[in-house]
Amino acid sequence: MSFKPKILGIACNWCTYTGADLAGTTRLHYPQNLRVVRVMCSSRINPSFIFRAFQLGADGVLVGGCHPGDCHYNTGNLYARRRLAVTKKILEFAGLEPGRFRVEWISASEGNKFAEVVEEFTAQIKELGPQQKLKIDELREKA
């Protein structure tokens, strides 16, 4: 059976989620491996969400927010940028493949970019194969 990655997408309500909507309404095709959770702002994302997602079986995590300067709350994504950069370094030093976690700025008008990023990221995760390191044991046995 070919490997179908499970990818968690966490998208901010104002830009990336709306961008995803646009990708949908313009009938763009992109891989269906992404499960999107909407948050009000990328700075709402607690780094533990990401650690936990990997533990609960995500093969990759994609975070989407407004472009710096475009945040609906002015500065949310600027805090998020720093915070998620640290998250990335921590995952990397722990030994997880760095390619499994990605942050992208996608605006509400960038439906195309959304589709492209998802396509690219999914291909990358397929290449990396199933994420086994952080996944909790109970899930690993079933897989």
Residue corresponding to tokens 């291909």:
123
Does residue 75 interact with another protein by CB under 8 A? yes
CA distance 3 to 14: 32
Does residue 105 interact with another protein by CB under 8 A? yes
Does residue 141 interact with another protein by CB under 8 A? no
Q: Which is nearer to another protein, 4 or 140 (CB)?
A: 140
Tell me which of 68, 123, 127, 129 binds another protein, using CB under 8 A.
68
Tell me which of 6, 72, 83, 126 binds another protein, using CB under 8 A.
83
Does residue 44 interact with another protein by CB under 8 A? no
* 45: CB partners within 8 A, 6+ apart: 10, 39, 63, 80, 83, 84
Q: Which is nearer to another protein, 52 or 126 (CB)?
A: 52
Does residue 6 interact with another protein by CB under 8 A? no
Question: Which region, judged by CB under 8 A, interacts with another protein, from 10-18, 21-29, 45-53, 120-128?
Answer: 45-53
Interface ranges with another protein (CB under 8 A): 47-48, 51-52, 55, 68-69, 75, 78-79, 81-97, 103, 105, 133-134, 136-137
